[in-house]
A and B are shown apart, each in its own frame.
Chain A
Amino acid sequence: MDMLTPVLTDNWGQDRAWTLAAYEKQGGYAAMKKALTPEYGGPDAIIQAVKDSGLRGRGGAGFPTGMKWGFIPQDNPKPKYLVVNADESEPGTCKDIPLMMASPHTLVEGVIISSFAIRANHAFIYVRGEVLHVIRRLQHAVQEAYLAGHLGKDINGTGYDLDIVVHAGAGAYICGEETALLEGLEGRRGQPRLRPPFPAVAGLYASPTVINNTESIASVPSIIANGADWFASMGTEKSKGFGIFSLSGHITKPGQYEAPLGITLRELVDLAGGMRAGHQLKFWTPGGSSTPLLTDEHLDVPLDFEGVAAAGSMLGTRALQLFDETTCVVRAVLRWTEFYKHESCGKCTPCREGTWWLVQTLARLEKGEGSEADLDLLLDQCDNILGRSFCALADGAVSPISSSIKYFRDEYLAHLRHGGCPLDPAASTVFASHGAPA
């Protein structure tokens, strides 16, 4: 277990870890107090610390957090806003919701420090609407923070004012896209906005806005408490620090594993007790279903931004979905594609119409209908969607398709030869009898 570096997850096992009392007992809000004292050096010192730490966005794209904060034009007379993207909806991704469930105060403390750094007096936490229990817990934590004087007017006598609004989304994957999130937050239809202007210049209510992932903001208190060097000492050269790796699927002990970036899947699988007994890894997603899937030949790829990119995929949200040899890749990809069709916002043509068509083509292939030419048609559809759409949703939609054809073309063809799926769908289920034949 040496490879784990529990920081964000460190207190999850404590009794009633989500309460202010429990959080403060293990040193919570000390980083906030440290950051807000004049001795720390003010907002610019915080931004510098986050820059020095090398923290990169934990929502998938990996944009340097400190640099993003530095884009906020401080000569703009409009108010500045911090928006936390807690609309965690990517298939397989389950790191922010457990974090907010187990230790919401880690996020609240991060929001306070981050807002102070960008000189915002209003922060919004946009939580996925379906997770009502998490919303309640977060709301309660915000209320506790207000009562303790950590929020509101003149926080802890520092003269700094901050209000946090916990906003429940209305159930759309697209609202995880930052500009669609802003539209939703403003009460409009959740569809992405034209950029430029970028949110740093004209975001929420046309004001300078920083939008960060939950885990990015939750990492800030530890950077302040332990120093940028401490954070930068973990991870790899260009992907510093730690992150929560969410293992799910055919693994013995699924769950959240907090480790430095650069750890390999082989190491993580070992930590999680190996694959389902008697089975081998067939394919996996490094960061949710919109990252091109990888296979067992990629077990030793370092899981940092550069390493996964070099393997032809993306680190994404570190949502490691593991599938063993009982799983039909065509079937899995069809399910994901149906998800993207359902979640396409409809704004642009390639995503709206393309996902509609992809599902029909894939469904026929899964039933063993069509011909090998349909595979080329499918790839050509993907080519006409990738990079042609308004936002990245459609790019994500084609990732599993093109990557699965790349690695498992034979399995698609086997469907055609077999006149249907050659695999037993029951074998991949959790209730499959032990050692069910592949």
Chain B
Amino acid sequence: MTTTPEKTGLVNVTIDGIQISVPKDTLVIRAAEQIGVQVPRFCDHPLLAPVGACRQCLVDIPDAGNGKPIPKPQASCTLPVAEGMVVQTQVTSPVADKAQQGIMEFLLINHPLDCPVCDKGGECPLQNQAMSNGRGETRFDGVKRTFPKPIALSPQVLLDRERCIVCQRCTRFTDEIAGDPFIALIERGAQQQIGVADDAPFLSYFSGNTIQICPVGALTSAEYRFRSRPFDLVSTPSVAEHDSCGAAIRVDHRRGKVMRRLAGNDAEVNEEWISDKDRFAFHYARQPDRLSHPMVREDGELRPASWSEAFAVAARGLRAAGSSAVLTGGRVTAEDAYAYSKFARVALGTNDIDFRARPHSAEEADFLTSFVPLSNEVEYADLETASVVVLAGLEPEDEAASIFLRLRKASKAKTRIVAVAPFTTRGLQKMNGRLIPTVPGEEADALRALADDGETALDAGGVILVGERLAQSHGALTAALELARTTGARLAWVPRRAGDRGAVETGCLPTLLPGGRPVADAGARVDAATAWGTGSLPDTAGRDGNAIIAALAKGQLGGLVIGGVDPRDTSDPAATLAAIDFAQFVVSLELRLTEVAARADVVFPVAPVTDKAGTFITWEGRPRPFEAVLANPASLPDLRILAGIAEELGSPLGFRTPHDVRAEMESMGPWDGARAPLGPVKEKKAGRTKARAFVLSSWKHLLDLGSMQDGDAHLAATARAAVARVNPAAYDALFGMLGEPATATLTGDRGSVTLPVEVGDLPDGVVWVPANSAGRGVLADLASPGSSVTIKGARR
């Protein structure tokens, strides 16, 4: 698993009279930190390459380790320790102290005195270090450098150039970490500034990190600029809810309202970086359609109801509806997922439960039941030590941002990245990765071929990351397991949503009980029933999500408990909505008045992640617990609502709070018996590709029309454009006579969409479109990925 770096020889140095041993190549500025001396710094950042630009961290070196002094003060951020070196920082050296004060004075002569209105004021390294390492009074009474302010580097990131001390942290981050060098130094001397090309705005998924690491108030976000002062904010650590990466975040709030989010520092997970989605997409919880009270349907209309009435009505309705099922999206916490899982089994007496609010398959259910629970073969750190990482059905930059940054870091060292994908994405380019061009549906063949591919050279030092989209490709998950078995490479499943992995672990599947207990295993059922103190549990595998929708539509199921499911994400959005309409009784647990809530018979408002404690399980299998950020009595966690209904049904769940559930999960523990075996993969249905049709490939952009990004127009404006991609040959054939720019009208079995066209290195007969960047999304408007569509060209 995680390897600790080898201790390659320690070096003895003396800093301010204190002897210390540090690893070879440690920079003096870090060695000083270890004895508790904070040398002031601006350009230095532990995750960026040293640059030595600001000169703030000058220290005196009376002995460089060779018995001789270095005549001039040295920048401690670029100087590695040497055996026997003697360092004097500002604490013991008047020379170093004066050098630092001198640099600080230079930094301040052109810096505006707008701290009282600057967003950074109160948490500003320049302000703080000017206090600790600068002079109280200015000696400069000349003319300060000014610039027109501010300029927009992107719709979200603004630059006040006169505040900038050109430490280059932002440009180094975009170049070294994100691989999006849209901003760069321009001009020279005192006019040197951060610049952006007129026709290439700073559209990086990671742009917000530059704001956070800016040591002055030069970079601000349009979203937070002038909104609050740092000393008015309360900071609460939390975990990002937008993907399965479990990035540590810090939520800053004021009077019950989240004002901003920052990256937390977790070396094992997200280091110090988060995506712009994790940073800026939090306004969804404060939209006008946020539910504030339970509602019950009376005479065809939803009306407000008390909690107790709603519990009673829900229980009565479900009892009357006969057989009922549970659909829970992948957004809920592990505690909430556990509650759904237990509710289905104990209160409804059914295994008809599925968290997969997306296209899924029986093969995937098998994979999730037998392989995924309790697995933790791969961690973030392993990506850096892997010889090769194979990506299949996963576009990390869009679908798992923290993985992308870790893979990019790894690829800059020695890890090779290989992607089984339809085309070379920008993310793959930035990871210097190799594409194995694959037509959607043929991933299984591509994965099988990798076993003997000398160039990929996959062996026990390699890692295979499979995305949830691989479920849409027949035989691919099985082939990935087989590839891992034959090569010895380690395999991990990377879902898109924060709650997906937790839902697997807690048994929100028709074939799985909590803790990896297979429904098909009598011993596991007894084990769970004993833990829950019930007589017995349903012993046959339940219906999966698609089957639940079908059964509801046919009247075989009467009731539905549904929480956090967007019908547009499901295999067949129209069928899902129709089934909800047709169902005898629907209980909806929702944050906002969604399409589902509007159709339900009882609607319960649930707490957003800020209002409750919970745990997300990362793709690695790492639990990421968090506590409530805000106290809001008006919204309850899903588990409390399910407990309320279950009590009315006469089958109490035995918990009421997330902490109760955590304790119960702990005492229940993981299943130590045999895993469910993988079932045989059914024969592939003979595909009938229409003549002159294209196979549809699709995934979601990181930033798109997802409802959890609602409310931040600046963030939305940085999203990548919705375009259709075909290969140059197809482009020429379809659009060549039209002249550029052209638009494509794609027609599938659910409708047509019209998008601008770009070319890419796609295989013949494949078209790619983003899944949710236009209209109601690909599944609702066009066709199911993997099916065939036709394309017509037109002049734009």
Q: Provide the bound-state CA to CA distance between A357 and B110, in Å.
A: 9
Q: B106 and A349: CB pair below 8 A?
A: yes
Q: A388 and B190: CB pair below 8 A?
A: no
Question: Is B140's CB within 8 Å of the partner chain A?
Answer: yes
Measured between beta carbons, the chain B residues less than 8 angstroms from A360 are 142-143
**Centre residue among A174, A343, A350, A383 by max chain B CB count within 10 A:** A350
Query: Given contacts A346-B187, A387-B73, A390-B55, is CB(A352)–CB(B102) below 8 Å?
Result: no
Measured between beta carbons, the chain B residues less than 8 angstroms from A353 are 106-107, 109-110, 190
Query: Given contacts A342-B189, A344-B189, A387-B73, is CB(A350)–CB(B103) below 8 Å?
Result: yes
**Centre residue among A342, A353, A354 by max chain B CB count within 10 A:** A353
Q: Provide the bound-state CA to CA distance between A174 and B188, in Å.
A: 10
Q: Provide the bound-state CA to CA distance between A385 and B145, in Å.
A: 19
Question: Is B72's CB within 8 Å of the partner chain A?
Answer: yes
Stretch touching chain A among B46-54, B434-442, B602-610: B46-54
Q: B53 and A390: CB pair below 8 A?
A: yes
Q: A348 and B53: CB pair below 8 A?
A: yes
A144 to chain B, nearest CB (A): 36
User: Would you give the 0/1 interface string for B181-211, flagging 1 where the beta carbon is closer than 8 Å to chain A?
Assistant: 0001101111110000000000000000000
Q: Provide the bound-state CA to CA distance between A390 and B50, in Å.
A: 13
Q: Provide the bound-state CA to CA distance between A349 and B139, in Å.
A: 17
Measured between beta carbons, the chain A residues less than 8 angstroms from B752 are none
Q: A347 and B190: CB pair below 8 A?
A: no
Question: Is B319's CB within 8 Å of the partner chain A?
Answer: no
Question: Is B750's CB within 8 Å of the partner chain A?
Answer: no
Question: Is A361's CB within 8 Å of the partner chain B?
Answer: yes
Of the candidates A352, A361, A390, the one whose C-beta lies within 8 Å of that of B166 is: A352
Q: A346 and B188: CB pair below 8 A?
A: yes
User: Would you give the 0/1 interface string for B103-127, flagging 1 where the beta carbon is closer than 8 Å to chain A?
Assistant: 1011101100000000000000000
Measured between beta carbons, the chain B residues less than 8 angstroms from A346 are 166, 185, 187-192
Query: Given contacts A346-B185, A349-B56, A387-B72, is CB(A194)–CB(B50) below 8 Å?
Result: yes
Q: Provide the bound-state CA to CA distance between A317 and B463, in Å.
A: 59
Q: Provide the bound-state CA to CA distance between A384 and B101, in Å.
A: 9
Q: Provide the bound-state CA to CA distance between A347 and B165, in Å.
A: 10
Q: A354 and B106: CB pair below 8 A?
A: yes
Of the candidates A348, A349, A377, A387, the one whose C-beta lies within 8 Å of that of B71 is: A387
B426 to chain A, nearest CB (A): 23
Measured between beta carbons, the chain A residues less than 8 angstroms from B55 are 348-350, 388-390
Query: Given contacts A347-B53, A388-B99, A390-B52, is CB(A341)–CB(B189) below 8 Å?
Result: yes
Question: Is A355's CB within 8 Å of the partner chain B?
Answer: yes
Of the candidates A172, A174, A349, the one whose C-beta lies within 8 Å of that of B165 is: A349
A29 to chain B, nearest CB (A): 41
User: Would you give the 0/1 interface string for A373-398, flagging 1 where the beta carbon is closer than 8 Å to chain B?
Assistant: 00001000001110111100000000
Q: Provide the bound-state CA to CA distance between A387 and B58, in Å.
A: 10
Q: Provide the bound-state CA to CA distance between A354 and B189, in Å.
A: 10
Q: A388 and B109: CB pair below 8 A?
A: no
Q: Provide the bound-state CA to CA distance between A220 and B133, in Å.
A: 51
Q: Provide the bound-state CA to CA distance between A207 and B696, in Å.
A: 47
Query: Given contacts A349-B165, A390-B53, is CB(A384)–CB(B99) below 8 Å?
Result: yes
Q: A352 and B192: CB pair below 8 A?
A: yes
Question: Is B98's CB within 8 Å of the partner chain A?
Answer: yes
Q: B103 and A194: CB pair below 8 A?
A: no
Question: Is A16's CB within 8 Å of the partner chain B?
Answer: no
Q: Provide the bound-state CA to CA distance between A271 and B166, in Å.
A: 50
Interface size on A, residues (CB 8 A): 31
B157 to chain A, nearest CB (A): 21
Interface size class of B (residues with CB under 8 A): 35 or more
Interface residues in B38-97 (C-beta closer than 8 Å to A): 50-56, 58, 71-73, 78
A83 to chain B, nearest CB (A): 22
Measured between beta carbons, the chain A residues less than 8 angstroms from B78 are 194
Q: Provide the bound-state CA to CA distance between A211 and B105, in Å.
A: 36
Question: Is A12's CB within 8 Å of the partner chain B?
Answer: no
Measured between beta carbons, the chain A residues less than 8 angstroms from B51 are 194
User: Would you give the 0/1 interface string for A307-349, flagging 1 where the beta carbon is closer than 8 Å to chain B?
Assistant: 0000000000000000000000000000000000111111111
Question: Is A418's CB within 8 Å of the partner chain B?
Answer: no
Measured between beta carbons, the chain A residues less than 8 angstroms from B189 are 341-346, 352, 355-356
Query: Given contacts A349-B165, A353-B109, is CB(A172)–CB(B145) below 8 Å?
Result: no
Measured between beta carbons, the chain B residues less than 8 angstroms from A361 are 142
**Centre residue among B55, B73, B101, B191 by max chain A CB count within 10 A:** B55
Q: Provide the bound-state CA to CA distance between A361 and B140, in Å.
A: 9
Q: Provide the bound-state CA to CA distance between A228 and B36, in Å.
A: 56
Question: Is A189's CB within 8 Å of the partner chain B?
Answer: yes
Of the candidates B54, B142, B188, the one whose C-beta lies within 8 Å of that of A344 is: B188
Query: Given contacts A172-B188, A341-B190, A357-B142, is CB(A388)–CB(B72) below 8 Å?
Result: yes
Q: Provide the bound-state CA to CA distance between A334 and B523, in Å.
A: 91
Measured between beta carbons, the chain A residues less than 8 angstroms from B50 are 194
B288 to chain A, nearest CB (A): 48
Measured between beta carbons, the chain B residues less than 8 angstroms from A347 are 53, 166, 192
B181 to chain A, nearest CB (A): 12
Measured between beta carbons, the chain B residues less than 8 angstroms from A189 are 184-185
Measured between beta carbons, the chain A residues less than 8 angstroms from B109 are 353, 356-357
The residue on A at minimum CB distance from B187 is: A346
Query: Given contacts A346-B192, A349-B107, is CB(A388)–CB(B58) below 8 Å?
Result: yes
Q: Provide the bound-state CA to CA distance between A62 and B56, in Å.
A: 30
Q: A388 and B192: CB pair below 8 A?
A: no
Q: B190 and A356: CB pair below 8 A?
A: yes
B470 to chain A, nearest CB (A): 40
Measured between beta carbons, the chain A residues less than 8 angstroms from B53 are 347-349, 390
Q: Provide the bound-state CA to CA distance between A347 and B73, in Å.
A: 18
Q: A388 and B103: CB pair below 8 A?
A: yes
Measured between beta carbons, the chain A residues less than 8 angstroms from B107 are 349, 353
Measured between beta carbons, the chain B residues less than 8 angstroms from A343 are 188-189
B445 to chain A, nearest CB (A): 41
Interface residues in A370-424 (C-beta closer than 8 Å to B): 377, 383-385, 387-390
25 pairs, A vs B, C-beta closer than 8 Å:
A341-B189, A343-B189, A344-B189, A346-B166, A346-B187, A346-B192, A348-B52, A348-B53, A348-B54, A349-B55, A350-B103, A352-B106, A352-B166, A352-B189, A353-B107, A353-B190, A354-B106, A355-B189, A360-B143, A383-B98, A384-B99, A384-B101, A387-B72, A388-B72, A388-B99
Residues of chain B having any CB pair with chain A under 8 Å: 50-56, 58, 71-73, 78, 98-99, 101-103, 105-107, 109-110, 139-140, 142-143, 145, 165-166, 184-185, 187-192
Given contacts A194-B78, A341-B189, 17 further A-B contacts (CB under 8 A): A194-B50, A342-B189, A346-B166, A346-B188, A346-B192, A352-B192, A353-B107, A355-B189, A356-B190, A360-B143, A383-B98, A384-B103, A385-B102, A387-B72, A387-B73, A388-B102, A390-B52
Q: Which 5 A-B pairs have the closest CB atoms?
A: A384-B102, A346-B192, A387-B72, A360-B142, A353-B106
